[in-house]
Amino acid sequence: MIVFKTFLKILKKNIGIVALYTVILVAFGGFNMKTSDNNMNFQDSQPSIYIINQDDHFITENLIQYMSKQCKIVKLSYDKNAIADALFYREVSYIIRIPQGYGDDFLNGKNPQIVIESTGDYESSYADMLLSRYLNVANLYQQIYDDGKVIIHKINETLALQTDIKMATQVDTTQLSQATFYYNFMNYSLLAGCVYITCLILSSFREEAISKRIAISSMNTKKHQLILLASNSLLALFLWLIYVLLSFILVGQVMFTVHGLFYIFNSFIFTICSLTLAFLIAHLVSNKNIINGIVNVVALGSSFLCGAFVPIEYLPDIVLKIAHILPSYWYIQGNEWIETVETFHLISLKPFFVNIGIVLVFALVFIVMSHVVVKRNNG
Amino acid sequence: MGNHFKYALKILFRKKILIFWTFAFPILLGTFFQMAFSDIEKNEQLDIINIAIINNDEFLQNEVFVRSFEQLSDDKSEEQLFHTDYVNEEEAKRLLANKKIDGYVLMADHQLQVVVGRSGINETILKYVTEEILQTDKIINDIIEYRLIQEIERNPTILENIDSASSQIYQDVFTAIKDSQANILDQSSHHLSYTMIEFYTLIAMTCLYGGTLGMTSINQVLANMSSHGKRISVSPVHKGRMILGSMMASYFTQLVGLLLLFIYTVFVLHVDYGSHFALVILLTCAGAFAGLSLGTAIGTLVKSNENTKTGIIISITMLGSFLSGMMGITMKYIVDKNFPIMNQLNPAAMITDGLYALYYYETFQRYYFDVISLLVFSGLMFFVSYISLRRQSYDSI
């Protein structure tokens, strides 16, 4: 009990850091959770655009109305720098400049020019398609009709034609992808939390004066080690439990389904692996001052490489190939797999259990390695 | 002073862990950034969308649809939008369930139906294209009808030969639609790569992180911080020169670290700093100066041990870097837009913003504002340190 009490004492001193990793998880995890009511119906993607209109004409008005219906018009202060910044930081992906006299020139068949600026991403490509379609339709009707009102009526009538669209899936994909994001991000918080705390506590126990004091005490070394292991496991479990509870609050409904159960199971296995890795590192490192650096390199490094921060599909192939040697990769692959599965049956579960198995193998390797290191240290 | 400089430099370079983290940590972090972000922007561009079409009789008989999708799926064309599989409905459902396609198109009872797996940009574009085909069809019919009426009014005898007349008009309309070109001029800047901000924050972090070097040097001179400092306090040397020598040694070390980082980011990571490299250097020197001044101020003002001082410098650096966009580029934009004063006081944001202004803006106003802000910040920090160091003496006890 004395060992456990000391353990808690040291933990209490450093609770701030653990809280910090939790706050980071909640901040980033929560930041990504947009409120979503009903996602079983199809919703058009709406690119964010900004329109600078210098013309006062009903023709221009109709164009703006059409774009407003199809896109999200972002409100910006009318300042050159503010608009430029908004484009750079992707608050808007497409800027349309309608010059003075546009409406009149259009009616006179001059096919006047519209200046745009775009970020070049898919949102802007779609906005570009929308604008081109409107202008093309407008030009064709302008060639046969003279009356502006008739032209507008015809344009709107044509552009109102819609296709019937249906969603095939019965699973709420938005919530699932939010859950995946949260559990992927947990890779960072779990690793950082486990490694930091374990290293700090074990190194405190290994300070020369303290380890000498322990050595002459009546307690069996093996028992002492075992209690430390149990205390650390308890802490890791506690950390995992808090993160899982938080996921119920942040992600919501989907956590109560079978999908949620799989996310929780996957993260539990990964917690075991993080704990063993933390033990290995703690036995390798005895200098307290470099613990922070190690935590950053291990947790940040594997999170960046394996797709905890940046979605896997955005990572270069070479990075993903390297990532295969890290347990985080297999954990995150497991989460990604859960997101895509619609129904769970025995055959479809195979890839998931392969991932779980690999994470467990990693854990085993870490245990064996720490054993070797401990033996060497004692020798 | 040359001697002071030399010795201070020697002391700094003997602190292996300090040097390792000041030099190697940014390079390591930069490598992570590169690995994580190098493909992000490429992936945000519109890719070829995988779709399927149910090749039932109704679809095959509709020439407009067949031709349109053929054109949009032509892998030799620059305007290719889709990769299309022509399959039966069962197969399409299977492909969609396995996420091999984003959606499929089904023609039944003269109605067009699009089936997708989720709401997203690819699905929206598929819907857009099918609508465009419907709409084009309507335009063709509208114009043909209008033209035919006109022709008949002008020359009623044409009614006898209506088929050839309408096929002529159809040809005309078809050419008109093909030739119709929306007059859009793209004036986008070529410097729109926002992931660059990550690397700029890295430079900012390194500049400020260098403050630990300045702080360490100051500690060497302070009598209440080290035995080295006590020895110096009782020696007959000019303290001002002594401190200046230490400062210069730290500044020099900082610049060496930054030079390494620049070489690494430019030649290995291919970071784009824009075309005004001399101004980038100027800004970085001013940034490193600000870092040095911050370290000095904390070294002199905070009466605590070295670890606490390092902790404070690192916390300020990380908070500053966070606000200037290191952990999420949008953070800088959010702060700039909503709480501009926060980043106007934040030296990390001044450095990041200066580099951003050089990269993206065509004018230099914003850049010089940042450089001057950095100099003012440094001046202020040095002034505070000076006041605190001046006439410092220790009571006899």
- Output the CA–CA distances (angstroms, integers) from residue A35 to B67, B152, B161, in the order listed: 41, 59, 63
Considering the domain architecture, whether residues B222 and B343 belong to the same structural domain is answered as: yes
A275 close to A236: Cβ distance less than 8 angstroms:
yes
pLDDT score at B127: 92
Q: Report chain B residues whose CB lies below 8 A from the CB of A122.
A: 44-47, 121
Nearest CB neighbour to A144, from listed B41, B143, B332: B143
Q: B180-216 burial by CB neighbour count: b if 16+ within 10 A, else e?
A: bebeeeeeeeebbbbbbbbbbbbbbbbbbbbbbbbbb
What is the number of CB-based contacts under 8 A between chain A and chain B?
202
pLDDT score at A32: 61
Distance CA A48, CA A35 (A): 18
> Has residue A9 got a pLDDT over 50?
yes
Q: Report chain B residues whose CB lies below 8 A from the CB of A296.
A: 25
Query: How far apart are the CA of B85 and the nearest CA of chain A, in angstroms?
Result: 18
Mean pLDDT of chain B: 88
Nearest CB neighbour to A161, from listed B99, B135, B336: B135
Secondary structure of chain B: what % helix, strand, coil (to 5)? 70, 5, 25
pLDDT in tens, B51-77: 999 988 888 888 878 888 888 898 888
Domain membership of residue B298 (yes or no) is yes
Could you tell me the pTM of the whole model?
Answer: 0.80
CATH number at residue B59: 3.40.190
pLDDT in tens, B160-186: 777 777 788 888 887 888 788 889 999
pLDDT score at A37: 45
Considering the domain architecture, whether residues B55 and B104 belong to the same structural domain is answered as: yes
Direct distance between the N- and C-terminal alpha carbons of chain B, in angstroms, rounded to an integer: 32
Domain membership of residue B169 (yes or no) is yes
Distance CA A184, CA B7 (A): 49
3-state DSSP call for residue A41?
A: coil
pLDDT in tens, A152-194: 999 999 999 888 888 876 666 778 888 898 899 899 888 988 8
pLDDT in tens, A213-235: 888 888 887 788 888 888 889 88
Banded pLDDT at A373 (limits 50, 70, 90): confident
Strands B82-87 and B49-54: parallel
pLDDT score at A33: 59
A118 close to A127: Cβ distance less than 8 angstroms:
yes
Domain membership of residue B395 (yes or no) is no
A-chain residue closest to B150, CA distance: A144
Considering the domain architecture, whether residues B385 and B332 belong to the same structural domain is answered as: yes
Nearest CB neighbour to B39, from listed A129, A136, A314: A314
Considering the domain architecture, whether residues B326 and B253 belong to the same structural domain is answered as: yes
Considering the domain architecture, whether residues B278 and B381 belong to the same structural domain is answered as: yes
Distance CA B321, CA B68 (A): 51
Query: Using a CB cutoff of 8 Å and minimum separation of 24, what contacts does A224-231 make?
Result: A224/A3, A227/A3, A227/A4, A228/A3, A228/A7, A228/A201, A228/A202, A229/A279, A231/A3, A231/A4, A231/A7, A231/A8, A231/A201
Task: Tell me whether residues B124 and A45 touch, CB distance under 8 A.
Answer: yes
3-state DSSP call for residue B192?
A: coil
pLDDT score at A61: 94
Lowest mean pLDDT among A33-42, A88-97, B233-242: A33-42
> Which of B132, B148, B176 is the last residue in one of the domains?
B176
Domain with B112, as residue range(s), is: 47-176
pLDDT in tens, B354-390: 999 999 998 999 999 999 999 999 999 999 998 888 8
Domain membership of residue B251 (yes or no) is yes
Banded pLDDT at A376 (limits 50, 70, 90): confident
Distance CA B59, CA B41 (A): 37
pLDDT score at A35: 47
Considering the domain architecture, whether residues B60 and B153 belong to the same structural domain is answered as: yes
> Has residue B25 got a pLDDT over 50?
yes
Considering the domain architecture, whether residues B150 and B245 belong to the same structural domain is answered as: no
Name the residue type at position B185: L
Where are chain A's structural domains? 2-36+172-378, 48-159
> Which of B176, B206, B233 is the last residue in one of the domains?
B176
Mean pLDDT of chain A: 86
Domain membership of residue B347 (yes or no) is yes
Number of domains in chain B: 2
Cα-Cα-Cα-Cα torsion B219, B223, B226, B230, nearest 10 degrees, comes to 130
Residues 6+ apart with CB under 8 A from A46: A70, A71, A72
CATH class as words, domain A48-159: alpha beta
> Has residue A316 got a pLDDT over 80?
yes
Considering the domain architecture, whether residues B135 and B172 belong to the same structural domain is answered as: yes
